[in-house]
Chain A
Amino acid sequence: MWITPAVVLLLLAACTKETPAPGKYENGVWIINEGGFNGNNASVSFYDPETGKVTGEVFLTENLRPLGDVLQSMCIHRGKGYLVVNNSRKVEVVDIHTFRSLHTITGVDYPRYFLGVDETKGYLTDGNYQGRVYVVDLETCEITGQIPTGSGPEAMVKAGNKVFVANSGGWGYDSTLTVIDAVTDEVLHTVKVGDQPVDLALDADGYVWVLCQGKVVWNQNFSAIVAETPSRLVRVDPAIYEVTGWEIGTTGDYFNPKRMALYAPGDIMYFEEAGGVYALDLSAPEIPSDPLITLQPYGLEVDPDNGEIYVLTPGGGDQPGSLQRYLPNGEEVQSVSVGYFPNGAVFPEGS
């Protein structure tokens, strides 16, 4: 009988499954590498800010199979990582300490973002035109219900017992947030915020912040733009749904920002727009005219512990992207190579 190296690795993996090396993936940041569309090369890298070391292909290493195609997002909830693999139409659930796969949630159509609601359930957005939020039983990893939303639901944020869903429009148009009762799973309200809301964050005062991409509407034969609106940052009072907004972009530049990151302790919002990453002081919101970082991000995050800014940029075409880490004042700390099309970073739970 031939025993190939792969079989040996499998046997070793099986043997060590019960006793994972403690601390293997502790005190670090997970980098979400989306991968090229139809490339099946999505991955997760583990970045240690102390040493600057990057461990690539963590899912592949720990599970001996590729993660899949288009890792849209990742969420850590109660010791588990939820990896939303959009074009593989699945969510991989892993033990966040070992990164071993625990479950695969399937039967989802166009998964985008996961949110752990409480200890028993989570929400998963389905970004189709006729959008919805799947209710996921965290114990069985089964889909137990669906909640209708607007078009192209993307990011979610929980404010008290309400979950706000950004209806980005997906392939079409929308301008609303759907508000869901996190206890009953019923839609409480729909808030009109601005065209193509795509990202959400909760500040220290409990306000929900929304990044609206703005929209470009072409005529039927795409020969002329018939309507266009600029991108906006919007603040929503989750109690009374009062909306306050600021224009952050201009029309005519084809630029529709997708990322923002909030450093709640410092009351600073970082957002992308044409030209790079801009910083907004939420205590006295005034849209800056110059970027803090002149780098166009594909992913943008803030370390919730120290306010360091993580800018993720893709490599050209089919080569690895980079993580650039900056101090809050915009001074670069480090630049490291990660996976293909990095679109975000996830910090340890509770940090």
Chain B
Amino acid sequence: MYNRIFVLAAWLLAALYEPGYAGVPDTVDLREVQLVHRREVLFHSGQQALTIDREMIFRRAQATLDELLSAHLPSGILSYGPAGSLSTIRLRGAGSNHTQVNWNGIPLGSLTTGTPDLSLIPAFAADRLSLVPGASGSLAGSGTFGGAVYLSNEPDWSSPAGVRMKTETGSFGDRRLQAAFRVGNKRVQWDTRLIHHRAANDFPYHDPYLPGNPEVTQSHSSFRSLGVVQHVFLRLPRHHDLNIGVWYQDREKEIPAIMGSYAPGTAVQRDSSLRAYIQWRKRYTRSVWSAHAATVNDYMRYDDAGSGEDGEGLHSFYHTRQTFAGTEYRRYFSDRLMADAGVRYELRYADVPNYGRIIRETHIHTYGGLQWKAGPVTTHFTLRKPFYTGYSMPWLVSLASRWNILSARWWTGIQAGNRYRLPSLNEWYWTPGGDPSLKPETGWNLEWMNDAYIIGFEHASTSVLIRTSLYSSYINNWIQWVPGEGYWSPVNYRNVWSRGLDMSAFFEHNTGSSAIKGKVAYQFSRATNRKVYDSQDILDKQLPYIPVHSGNISLSWETVRTGIRLEQQWNGKRFTTADNHPAYALDAWMRTDVGASYRIRLTGWTVELSGRIRNLFHAEYQLVRSYALPGRSFHMSVSLEWDHGRKSHH
């Protein structure tokens, strides 16, 4: 019996390896090893992922997902303005609806556009983040040409109760508060989180679109958001686990005018989401059976007092709902072979005025995977077959193999697979223009990955890891809205070839009393049109907003009490139009953020005072053309942390 558990645990521990921020996996408490890892973690373990754990998320508890990721992906986040503005993620030359964002298996992208708004997702809502560039379509389903972001919540069975709070005040009326309360025992855990954020965003900036490039103040740009996340984790007798989670998120924001406008914005948008899931799992000696159900309700209301057909403003409202149910079974045949299979049912509902009718759709996915370990080589094979009435959906296949050439020092691997994206509901049903006959976007990718310690080794006190990834991917039938006879319509517009190089150097030096960590990263990305629906003029042109060169540097030094950090992001020149017109290109920019913290312990509580300066050198730049961004800003925060029955994390 114990041998069998050991085999299972060994398998799962092997699957745990997921290179993190500094190339080092998270600390694992052997007493509380999660016997079953999430599927996406297990099967993506052969790929290079960015992992941010509970502690790192708490350090950035005040951040929204776009803020959290922008430090790691300088060219991947496109924000349409300051905090609270629409922020999208674009990875590996793909579009904003080509990267999935999931929370405990629930997709957070808009059902109407397919695009997730990262500014609506507070990092503190989750315990763990994993970003997989170029994620497999066979694992994640529709829309992963760019990648996939997985957010998850996990119980902390090592501590029965805890409190975590952080409040931050910053320039331009930026106020943030996060609080988490956790209580329970070895069988049940109750976890409640509150997240509040508001900002006036009344920052000054220079407006090059106005005569004389004058300094003006951003107006009509405030917002407020509130999130409540509730979890109950149960460990029931006979190896049954039950996780229940509910998340309500609400934000109301003013939409400012773009730069160069002589009138302030007048529109206000409110986004509300209610998400809930329940997940059951039964662990057997060599297998795991799980089932889940989930629902997502998204509401959006848009009001523009400045126009409208009745003289009282323009108003629109929609409601969408996704309901999921599924089950999967995983079997460990030996310490070398594991396989799983599952099915997922999805019901989509949309009440969107411009669709002309209520939309109800059913999607079914069947999937399976295989993990095979032969000596130092671990291979993952995954398969998925989506079913949707009226479409002949392709089989999705992915193969990833990772070879540990030198134990704890050198890994190399390849991954290949095909991917797709089903058209969004707007692309199908918007009236007029929407086209139900649109073909799904399809494509495939090939990637080579290499991790090599040139100094030290994994978990060593001093190490330097060089991480390299070379990729090539095709996206065919890329859907784009184009002007047509009297209205715009989506068409299968272009075929794109995206290829590039991601290269990072991570270094770490621990002395016992202090630790220095650093990262230097560079990305080269070419994403060009190979075939275009109606024009030869933009063939081989770089896609808008994809910089050919980008990079970032981060450096931190920490002792038991103090910490300082520096982050620098650099983005090369970006075109904003398909013809790469130089007059409308955005200049290269570099932004530097610095921060410092001081930590004390008071009768079991850890209190941390910290400050940060965002955009230290007051760089003037635009992520999206014409959308103003703030210059230098100052932020001060206080955090409190208490974990019953556990020593300090630090």
Binds B, one of A106-114, A116-124, A179-187: A106-114
Contact A129–B309 (Cβ < 8 Å): yes
Please judge, given known A-B contacts A130-B311, A171-B309, A274-B486, whether A317 and B209 are in contact too, CB under 8 Å: no
The distance in angstroms between the C-alpha atoms of A40 and B259, with both chains bound, is 8
What B residues does A176 contact at CB under 8 A? none
Whether, in the assembled complex, A55 has its beta carbon less than 8 Å from a beta carbon of chain B, the answer is no
Once bound together, how far apart are the Cα atoms of A122 and B156, in whole Å?
72
A35–B386 Cα gap in the complex (Å)?
A: 40
What residues of chain B lie closer than 8 Å to A224, measured between beta carbons? 356
Among B353, B484, B583, the residue within 8 A (CB) of A222 is B353
* B578 at interface by CB-CB < 8 Å: yes
B628 to chain A, nearest CB (A): 11
Return chain B residues, CB-CB under 8 Å to A314. 483
A317 contacts B261, C-beta separation under 8 Å: no
A110 and B532 alpha carbons, distance in the complex (Å):
35
Q: Give the distance to chain B from A221, nearest Cβ to Cβ, in Å.
A: 6
Count of B interface residues, CB-CB < 8 Å = 52
B312: nearest residue on chain A (CB-CB)?
A: A129
Report the minimum CB–CB distance from A300 to chain B (whole Å): 13
Question: Is A87 in contact with B258, judged by CB distance below 8 angstroms?
Answer: yes
Residues of chain A contacted by B535 (CB below 8 angstroms): 315-316, 319
Interface residues of A in 20-53 (CB under 8 A from B): 38-41, 43
Contact A68 B211 (CB under 8 A): no
**Bound-state Cα–Cα, A107 to B308, Å:** 20
Chain B residues 185-224 with CB under 8 Å of chain A are 208-211, 213
Q: A328 on the interface (CB 8 Å rule)? A: no
CA distance A337 to B260 in the complex (A): 26
B486 and A222 form a contact (CB under 8 A): no
In the complex, chain B residues whose CB is within 8 Å of the CB of A320: 537, 577, 579, 581
Q: How far is the CB of A228 from chain B (nearest CB, A)?
A: 13
Name B258's closest neighbour in chain A (CB-CB): A38
CA distance A107 to B261 in the complex (A): 11
**Interface residue? B58 (CB, 8 A):** no
- A60 on the B face (CB < 8 A): yes
In the bound complex, do residue B626 and residue A39 qualify as a contact, i.e. CB atoms below 8 Å apart?
yes
CB distance from B156 to the nearest CB of A (A): 45
A170-193, CB under 8 A of B: which get 1 and which 0?
111100000000000000000000
Complex CA–CA separation, A39 to B579 (angstroms)? 14
Interface of A is mostly: loop
Q: What are the residues of chain A within 8 A of B263 when measuring CB–CB?
A: 89, 109
Which of B307, B311, B487, B577 contacts A319 (CB under 8 A)? B577
Task: Report the bound CA distance from A107 to B264 in whole Å.
Answer: 11
Q: Does A267 touch B at the CB level, under 8 Å?
A: no
Are B209 and A170 closer than 8 Å at their CB atoms?
no
Is A172 a contact of B261 with CB atoms below 8 Å? no
User: Separation in Å of the B424 CB from the closest CB of chain A?
Assistant: 16
B576 touches A107 (CB 8 A): no
Min CB distance A335 to B, Å, is 12
Do B480 and A255 have beta carbons less than 8 Å apart? no
- In this assembly, does A296 line the interface, its C-beta being within 8 Å of a C-beta of chain B? yes
Q: A40-B260, A171-B314 are in contact. Are A315 and B486 (CB under 8 A)?
A: no
* Complex interface: chain A residues within 8 A of B213 (CB): 65
> In this complex, what residue of A is CB-closest to B316?
A222
Whole-angstrom CA separation of A255 from B213 in the bound complex:
42
User: Are B354 and A222 in contact, with the CB atoms below 8 A?
Assistant: yes
Q: Which A residue's beta carbon lies closest to that of B484?
A: A296
Question: Please, which residues of chain A bring their CB within 8 A of the CB of B431?
Answer: 222
- A312-337: CB near B (< 8 Å → 1, else 0) gives 00111111100000000000000001
Task: Determine if A256 is an interface residue (Cβ-Cβ < 8 Å).
Answer: yes
Question: Contacts A89-B262, A109-B263: A104 and B211 contacting too (C-beta < 8 A)?
Answer: yes
B32 within 8 A of A: no
By DSSP majority rule, is chain B's interface helix, strand, loop, or mixed?
loop
Contact with A along B471-487 (1 / 0, CB 8 A): 00000000011111111
The verdict on A317 contacting B480 (CB below 8 Å), with A87-B261, A88-B261, A222-B355 known, is yes
Given contacts A68-B260, A87-B258, contact A316 B533 (CB under 8 A): yes
> What's the Cα separation between A129 and B263 when bound, in Å?
17
A66 in the interface (beta carbon within 8 A): yes
A129 near B258: Cβ-Cβ < 8 Å: no
- Given known pairs A254-B486, A314-B483, the reply for A319 and B579 (CB within 8 Å) is yes
B300 CB to closest chain A CB (Å) equals: 15
| Chain B CB within 8 A of A142 CB | no
Cβ A88 vs Cβ B537 within 8 A:
no
Residue A128 lies at the interface, judged by CB distance under 8 Å to chain B: yes
Confirm or deny: A57 has a beta carbon within 8 angstroms of a beta carbon on chain B.
yes
Q: Closest CB of chain B to A252's CB: distance in Å?
A: 11
Give the distance in Å from the alpha carbon of A314 to the alpha carbon of B356 in the complex.
28
Bound together, the chains give a CA A69 to CA B213 distance in angstroms of: 16
Expressed in whole angstroms, the Cα–Cα distance for A318 and B483 within the complex equals 10
Chain A residues, CB < 8 A from B210: 65
A241 adjacent to chain B (CB < 8 Å): no
B432: Cβ under 8 A from any A Cβ: yes
- Determine how close the nearest CB of chain A comes to the CB of B206; give it in whole angstroms: 12
Residues A317 and B309 in contact in the complex (CB < 8 Å), given A38-B258, A68-B209, A223-B356: no
A347 contacts the other chain (Cβ, under 8 Å)?
A: no
List the B side residues contacting A317 at CB < 8 Å: 480-482, 493, 578
Contacting pair A254 B493 (CB below 8 A) = no
Whether the pair B485, A274 counts as a contact (CB closer than 8 A) is: yes
CB of B180, distance to nearest CB on chain A (Å): 38
Chain A residue contacts of B261, Cβ below 8 A: 68-69, 87-89
Across the interface, B625 reaches (CB within 8 A) one of A40, A89, A109, A256, namely A40
| Chain B hits for A146, CB < 8 A | none
Kindly list chain B residues whose C-beta atoms are within 8 Å of the C-beta of A89.
Answer: 257, 261-263
Report how far A173 CA is from B310 CA in the complex, Å.
9
Interface on A for B, CB 8 Å cutoff?
38-41, 43, 57, 60, 63, 65-66, 68-69, 87-90, 101, 104, 106-110, 128-130, 169-173, 218, 221-224, 254-257, 274, 296, 298, 314-320, 337, 340-341
Going nearest first, the 7 A-B pairs with the smallest beta carbon separation are: A172-B309, A319-B578, A89-B263, A40-B626, A316-B482, A254-B432, A222-B353
Apart from A316-B480, A316-B578, A320-B537, what are 9 other A-B pairs with CB-CB below 8 Å?
Answer: A40-B260, A69-B260, A88-B260, A169-B309, A171-B309, A296-B486, A315-B534, A316-B532, A318-B544
Give me 9 A-to-B residue pairs in the complex whose CB atoms sit less than 8 angstroms apart, sorted by A's number: A38-B258, A38-B626, A39-B577, A65-B209, A66-B260, A129-B309, A170-B307, A254-B486, A320-B581
B: residues with CB less than 8 A from A are 208-211, 213, 257-263, 306-311, 314, 353-357, 431-432, 480-487, 491, 493, 532-535, 537-538, 544, 576-579, 581, 583-584, 625-626
